[in-house]
Structure 1
Amino acid sequence: MTVDATLARINDGVQLHHQRGQRDAARDLFTRIWDEIGGQDGDPLHVCVLAHAMADVQDDVHQELLWDQRALAAADLLTDTRVAQAGVALPVAGLYPSLHLNLGECHRKLGDLDRAREHLRHAQAGIDALGDDEYARLIRAGLDRLTQLLASASENAPQ
């Protein structure tokens, strides 16, 4: 199987951000890739993965939400065949828990707790598509954290 060069470059940007702390450099790389793939009109797999990564390097939660929404919309256009061709180990269904987790977190930050809970429910409903590896544990931990934050927000809300 050949390595998908675009996904490899996106991964380079993710590494810049997460392992080297170079958020701005990652955002610049993602912007160049976004332009190269044709933006939202590009290959849905590239759009999904890139938008998902781009959301993580935004300074403004509204921009983060916009990128997360783009990622979700692109995921809806994906097939398991396309994902497998690119060498992605997950089926399309395995992408949704993380996408919904991120959307839920954005809505929580924006104070839209109902929408945050809606995305949390979608993420939880799809969690079985993940295995029991490090990635799955990371997503489950994120879901637990969001659940606790939303419960705390409900307890502290004015009556």
Structure 2
Amino acid sequence: MTTTPAAPDPTMEAIGQAVTEGRTGDIVTARRKLLALWSEIGVTGDPLHRCSLAHYLADLYEDPAQALVWDTRALDAADAVTDQRVQEHHAGLHVAGFYPSLHLNLADNFRRLGSFEAASEHIDAAGALAPDLPRNSYGDLLRGAIQEVAEAIAGRDRAQRGSAPGSRGADVRVQ
């Protein structure tokens, strides 16, 4: 959700500011701010806010079990977001575009936890949605990460990927 909003949205702006802090290395502050925002939004709050916040918060946890909790919340919230709401945030976005990244992250968490059957289900879902990804650097990044995680699942590899969100490699985000 790093796009320019169609209308000012203080919550999305606060999420973006916290994400920027996390990306510059202040993970503790970023996590604290996002958790405080989560308390304000609540579990029944705006699903776009919940999806965005949970998706980014998951990246601030090295522990795959903790990341899994937040990635699951992001997927659940995405199921409640409408295209109308997403397009209020940015006219060019569609909820369907969120799912490859969300399933990829879940697959990667399950893989790192050694739950290869669950990981396979989510990487298959991400792969099935990959043809609809945009033909740009973001789409290419996601397609590459999907392939990388699929190979790691097939090899029963539980190691953290260098290209995983929050690592020193490339970030894979919902856009």
Q: TM-score, normalised by structure 2?
A: 0.81
Corresponding position: 1:10 with 2:15: yes
Q: Tell me how far 1:127 sits from its aligned partner.
A: 1.7
Describe the superposition over 1:39-87 as per-residue Cα deviations: whole angstroms up to 9, x where unpaired. x111011001101111111242211111111111111111111100111
> 1 CA distance for matches of 2:14 and 2:144?
27
Matched with 1:157 is: none
Question: Structure 1 stretches of 5 or more lacking a match?
Answer: 155-159
* Structure 1 consecutive aligned stretches of length 4 or more whose deviation exceeds 3 Å: none
Distance 1:92 1:55 in 2: 19
Instruction: Say yes or no: does 1:21 pair with 2:25.
Output: yes
Q: Which has the higher helix share?
A: 1
| SS of residue matched to 1:141 | helix
Cα deviation code 1:90-123 (max 9, x no counterpart)? 2100000000000000100110111101100101
Aligned to 1:97: 100
Give the superposition deviation at 1:88.
Answer: 6.0
Instruction: Tell me the percent identity.
Output: 41
CA distance in 1, matches of 2:132, 2:17: 26
Cα distance, 1:151 vs structure 2 = 2.2
Q: 1:55 aligns with which of 24, 34, 58?
A: 58
- The AA in structure 1 aligned to 2:96 is A
Matched, 1:66 2:78: no
1:76 partner amino acid: D
Higher relative contact order (CA 8 A, sep 6+): 2
Whether the aligned pair in 2 keeps the contact of 1:94 and 1:127 (CA below 8 Å) is no
Q: Which stretch shifts more, 28-37 or 98-107?
A: 28-37
Distance 1:34 1:102 in 2: 20
User: How many residues are matched?
Assistant: 152
Alignment of 1:26-45 (within 5 A): 26-38=30-42, 40-45=43-48
Task: Give 3-state SS (helix, strand or coil) of 2:156's partner.
Answer: helix
Whose Rg is larger? 1
